[in-house]
Each structure stands twice: as C-alpha cells, then as structure tokens.
C-alpha cells in the first residue's frame, strides 16, 4: 500500500459526516488522512474528501461560518485539485438543495430534491440498501469493477437525472432514475456510501487515490 503513502489527503470535518469509517478505509490503503475543521492552506493537500452523513443546512452553515466554503472553491476551481463528495458531500456540490432550502457550493449544475418531490407514488423513503449503478462512460472511480456494480445507499434526497448535467453521470433507479456517480475533471461525487460497500467501495477509494496521485505527478 506504499504507493499512496506520499499523498496528503484531507477529510472535511463539518461535524455531521461519517468521518471514522471513511478515514479507516483511507488508512487501510496506506494514507493517514488529516481532518480539516477550519481554515486550511489549499496548496497543502493533494486530495480532499467531503463525507456524507447529516443535513445540508448544518453542513453548509458550518462551511460558510468557518470560511471553508471559499477555501474549497479555491481548491476546486482555481488550483483544480481532486475532491470526492460522498452522499451528502456529493449533494452539497450541487447548486441548491430542497433540504433546508439551501444554496450549495454550485460546482455541479442541478438541484437536489427529495424523492417524494419527484414522484407521486407512496414510496418507502429513505432509500436504504444495495443497488446497482448503470453507466455508459469509462468512469475513473469504477475502474476494475464489473459492469453495473452494486453499492450501499442510505438517502432521502437525490440529484434527478438530467442529460444536461455538466459532467459524466452514472444512474441508479429507485422508482425513478437519479445520479449516483459523477465525474467532471477534478470533481468526483457518489450518492452511495463506498465506505459501507466492502470490496467495491474500497476499489472506488483506491481509484480516487490513484487520480490524486496522477494529478500530483
């Protein structure tokens, strides 16, 4: 696992994320991540992770009051280093979320909506359990996985599928299709939880670290 030991990986700690389980997988792959709770130097880190449990309002309020939102925007749009958003972390990369009626970071075009805002049937929410990801493009995060791999999901909000989204997307269906994986240059997002998805999830993290390594070299 020494291939990634030189990487400096930061995990954004907005006090609502699944930090320990994400950090554990990253450590297993040979990297000791650093938790970021306040202002940081974007140049110090080779890759960042936005973890994925909690509410949009709490996460965005924390990022804004600590000044992290501006630093993250510099990291993503000016320095253009790799970042991975997981579940909530992916959702706050979008322009807006119905959850808490909040404007978000705005890196991904589109609005996050509740399942029941998108469909009238009496569906069970949250969507929890294993489901597959369908895709046509060559996703860097999915390299080495079988076609239509399965991952673990736990969420009530989605980015509805839209062919006009500004990046490559993979789709999962739970009554309606929604974006479950996103890639655009240095921005990576997944609606599922790779840290809860066993071997498949570990491969996703490994592929992200490989992209970080490639960007660093």
The predicted structure's pLDDT at residue 81:
98
Q: 103-144: per-residue pLDDT in tens?
A: 999 999 999 999 989 887 788 899 999 999 999 878 999 999
- Going by C-alpha positions, the residue among 19, 99, 10, 93 that lies closest to residue 53 is 19
Catalytic residue, from 99, 183, 195, 211: name it. 195
114 catalytic residue (yes or no): no
Q: Are strands 187-190 and 176-184 parallel, antiparallel or unpaired?
A: antiparallel
- Domain of 36, in residue numbers: 2-216
Q: 41-85: per-residue pLDDT in tens?
A: 999 999 999 998 889 999 999 999 999 999 999 999 999 999 999
Find the CATH number of the domain harbouring 34.
Answer: 3.40.50.880
DSSP string computed for 31-70: ---EEE-S---GGG-SEEEE---S-HHHHHHHHHHTTHHH
99 catalytic residue (yes or no): no
What is this structure's pTM? 0.96
Q: How many domains does the chain have?
A: 1
């Amino acid at each position: 696992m020494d291939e990634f030991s030189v990487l400096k990986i930061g995990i954004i700690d907005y006090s609502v994320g699944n930090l320990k389980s994400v950090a554990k997988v990253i450590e297993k792959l040979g990297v000791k991540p650093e938790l970021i709770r306040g202002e940081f130097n974007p140049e110090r880190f080779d890759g960042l992770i936005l973890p994925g449990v909690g509410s949009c309002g709490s996460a965005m309020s924390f990022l804004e009051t600590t000044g992290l939102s501006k630093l993250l925007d510099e990291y993503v749009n000016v320095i253009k280093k790799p970042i991975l958003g997981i579940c909530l972390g992916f959702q706050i990369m979008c322009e807006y979320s119905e959850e808490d009626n909040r404007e978000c970071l705005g890196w991904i075009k589109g609005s996050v909506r509740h399942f029941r805002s998108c469909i009238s049937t009496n569906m069970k929410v949250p969507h929890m359990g294993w489901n597959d990801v369908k895709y046509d493009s060559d996703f860097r995060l999915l390299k080495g996985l079988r076609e239509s791999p399965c991952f673990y999901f736990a969420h009530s909000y989605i980015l509805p599928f839209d062919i006009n989204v500004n990046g490559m997307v993979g789709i999962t269906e739970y009554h309606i299709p929604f974006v479950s994986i996103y890639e655009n240059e240095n921005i990576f997002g997944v609606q599922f939880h790779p840290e809860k998805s066993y071997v498949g999830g570990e491969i996703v993290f490994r592929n992200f670290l490989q992209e970080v390594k490639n960007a660093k070299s």
